[in-house]
Amino acid sequence: MFALIDCNNFYASCERLFRPDLKDTPIVVLSNNDGCCIARSNEAKALGIAMGEPYFKIKDRCVQYGIKAFSSNYTLYGNISHRVMCTIEETWPHVEVYSIDEAFLDLSSLSTSLHEGFCQELQKKILRYTGISTSIGIGATKTLAKVANHLCKKVFKVPVFHISSNREQLLQQVSVGDVWGVGRQWEKRLMTRGIHTAYDLAMTNPHLLKKDFNVILMRTAMELQGISCGGLEEVELKQNIMSSKSFGQIQTQFSFIAESVSSHCARVVEKMRYQHLVCQRIEVFVHTNRFRKDLAQHFQSIEFKFINPTDDLQLITTIAKRCLRRIFKLGYYYKKAGVCLKDLTPKDLRQLDLFHQPSDEQLHHTEQLMSVFDQINQKYGRSTIRLAAEGYSKPWAMCAELKSPAYTTRWSELPKVRVY
């Protein structure tokens, strides 16, 4: 038996968490460069704000209905997500963190009669510890738990829902397009074959689904029948870590793009060191805006292999800028740049080159420097200390005019409470 915990309107809930004045106020969260709507509170949904709708199209409605818009604040969302997942893992040992706002629980070791009560208590604990409300679906398989969560939110409007004896009737209330793993293209193909609901999919011969689609859809149909095709998945070590963002405005100068690449290096190295990994290769890429047909196009990337696996920010940034120099061309209007660290391995298992091994003194010096670097930024907030290569004015930075403070990760941006 599985449970799926899903944070309600997660990004919007994170924004409201430190703004009690926004209770019952419609909220939307925007994508990078304040482009389009990627999250909505229930109040915003009720006003007809669609997912993916461009911000410039809804600005008038935001003014008319008092909708509060926020630039995306992934540092805040990531930190709140970490708190939610830690609360879950402290309460129950069998957990798979599926996404930033979802987690599966394997409840097999708990008596069936206790499932709903346990989930209700866990739900209250998450709300009490983090301020985030959740919906929980319970089912015999992970796919049924997903369906239960959908019914919990969209149909029955209850905090916890358990698919049990009346599975067939419940599956008839779920569109096939709302089934976990069925995308828009498959939905169209399935509907042309008369498969309109989750129940229809469950009743379809799984071997025909494997033949006409793939094994994943076959397993989905079997799981809808209550046949489990997989348990919780262990988190695998990442092989790549990437950071890439569009510029706030198109860039033509090498110096500004180099600052952007240096900033991306800082982000990926931070993530890599947090996981105690080192990288063997780095990829740097830049490209123009493919939608601007009136401008010349340039898409280029380059890779570099380090002699020894490393997590040294100074070395990685130096190499990244050299790589950028090789692919940058004057005369183009660049829209985006990024960095990807590849061939990641645990730091304590890295193998040094036999003929080019750094001395123990060099390794010790680098580790000491990077450790102090990490400690300062963890204590006082990201980028408190950074390489000068990242620049200061950052004319290339994304447009984020509506971004909320880093309430939980920067001392200078902690929320202030006034006592009268």
pLDDT at 324: 97
Q: How far apart are CA 128 and CA 120, in angstroms?
A: 12
Q: Which of 100-104, 203-207, 308-312, 360-364 is predicted with the least confidence, judged by mean pLDDT?
A: 360-364
Which segments of the chain belong to CATH 3.30.1490.100? 241-390
> pTM score, two decimals?
0.84
State what percent of residues in the chain have pLDDT above 70: 100
Contacts of 307 (CB under 8 A, 6+ apart): 353, 356
Supply the pLDDT for residue 352: 81
- What confidence score (pLDDT) does residue 184 get? 85
The CATH number given to 9-75 is: 3.40.1170.60
For the cut 80, the answer to whether the pLDDT of residue 354 exceeds it is: no
Q: Position of tokens 């997590």? A: 311
Q: What's the whole-number mean pLDDT along residues 160-176?
A: 92
Burial of 128 (0-12, 13-18, 19+ CB in 10 A): exposed
- Torsion angles phi and psi, residue 71, rounded to 5: -70, 150
Collapse the DSSP code of 353 into the 3-class scheme (helix H, G, I; strand E, B; otherwise coil) and give the result.
coil
What is the pLDDT, as a whole number, of residue 360?
A: 80
SS3 96: strand
- pLDDT score at 419: 82
Residue 228's φ and ψ, nearest 5 degrees, are -70, 130
Instruction: Give the residue-averaged pLDDT of 87-102.
Output: 96
**Domain 78-225: what homologous superfamily?**
5' to 3' exonuclease, C-terminal subdomain (1.10.150.20)
pLDDT tens for each residue of 255-304 = 999 999 999 999 999 999 999 999 999 999 999 999 888 999 999 999 99
Q: What is the pLDDT of residue 100?
A: 96
pLDDT at 248: 87
- How many helices (H) and strands (E) the chain has is answered by 14, 13
Indicate where the chain has its CATH 1.10.150.20 domain(s).
Answer: 78-225
Q: Cα–Cα distance between 279 and 241 in angstroms, integer?
A: 9
pLDDT average, residue stretch 123-136: 97
Under CATH, which number does the domain 241-390 receive?
A: 3.30.1490.100
As a whole number of angstroms, the distance between CA 45 and CA 49 comes to 5
Instruction: Give the mean pLDDT of 246-251.
Output: 90
The one-letter code for the residue type at 208 is: L
* Distance, C-alpha 378 to centroid of its chain: 21
Residue 201 is predicted with a pLDDT of 95
